[in-house]
Amino acid sequence: MQKTTETFVDALLKGDHAASLRIVQNQREHHSRFTIYNELITPAMHEIGMLWQQNKITVADEHLATAVCDFVLSQTEYDLVQHSDFQETTPKAMFFTVQDEYHYLGLKMVSILFREKDWNVKYYQSNLSIDHVMEQVETWKPAVIGLSFALAYRIEALTAYLKKFSELDYEPEILVGGRLMHQYDFSSIGPPNTTFIENLNELQTWFNKDKTIRRDDSDGKANTSSVI
C-alpha cells in the first residue's frame, strides 16, 4: 500500500477532499476499516508529521492535511452509521484528549473502530478538562475510558486524570494512547485497570482479549481461554 500512501499524502497536502476520499473509498472495496486506518491513514499522517518536523511543509500545510483527513475519517464513520438508529446500549466507551491537547485523529480512528464493534460510543474529540470528564464519567459510567496525549509536558495532566479514575466507585477499563507511547514506559503511573496502547495492532489485541473476557464472564468461567 506504499504507493497508495504516497498518493494519499499528496492529496491531503493539496487540500483535495475529493481525491483523498476517492483513494480511501477505492481501498475500502478490498480492505477493512482497520486495515485502511492502520496501513494507509496512520502512515500518511506520520509522513506528514515528519515533513513538518523537517521543515519541508508549513504549519498551515499540516493543519490543512489534518482537516482533510478528519473529513475522510468522518465519511468512513458515516458509512458505518448511516443505516443505524441511535440506541442507548451497552457496552459504553468514551474518548477524548487531555486538556490542551489537540492531536485527535488517532483517537477518532479508535472511536470509530469501537463503534464498528457495536460499542455505544461518545467521542468528545480534543481538549476536555478533567472536571468535564469526571462529570460525564460519573453520569454515564462507561465501561471503557479512552484518552490520548501527544506532548511530553502533559504527562502531569495525564497523571491527574488517571488518579481521578482510580477514585471512581467502579473500575472501567482505561485505555491511553498517543505518539509518546512507543518512546516511554508509562505503566507506573496508571492504576491496574489501565492499558497503554502504542498502535492499532495493540488495540486489536485488546479487542481480542476483551471478547475472551466477556465470553468467560457470560459463561461463569472467568480466566479461561475461550475464543469467540
Q: What is the pLDDT of residues 43-56, one digit of tens each?
A: 999 999 999 999 99
What is the pLDDT averaged over residues 16-41? 97
Kindly indicate the confidence band of residue 57, based on its pLDDT and cuts at 50, 70 and 90. Answer: very high
Nearest residue to 189 via CA among 222, 153, 216, 162? 162
Supply the pLDDT for residue 173. Answer: 97
- How many angstroms separate the most distant Cα atoms in the chain? 57
Output 205 or 85, whichever has higher pLDDT. Answer: 205
Q: Are 189 and 158 in contact (CB under 8 A)?
A: yes
What is the pLDDT averaged over residues 153-180? 92
Q: Is the link from the previous residue into 91 a cis peptide, with omega within 30 of 0?
A: yes
- What domains are there in the chain, each with its CATH number? 2-81 (1.10.1240.10), 92-219 (3.40.50.280)
Supply the pLDDT for residue 212. Answer: 54
C-alpha dist (Å) from residue 154 to 100, 157, 167, 174: 8, 5, 21, 17
CA angle (196 as vertex; 48, 182 as ends), nearest 5:
45
Using the predicted structure, report yes or no on whether residue 117 has a pLDDT greater than 80.
yes
Q: Is the pTM of this model over 0.85?
A: yes
Kindly indicate the confidence band of residue 105, based on its pLDDT and cuts at 50, 70 and 90. Answer: very high
Supply the pLDDT for residue 22. Answer: 98
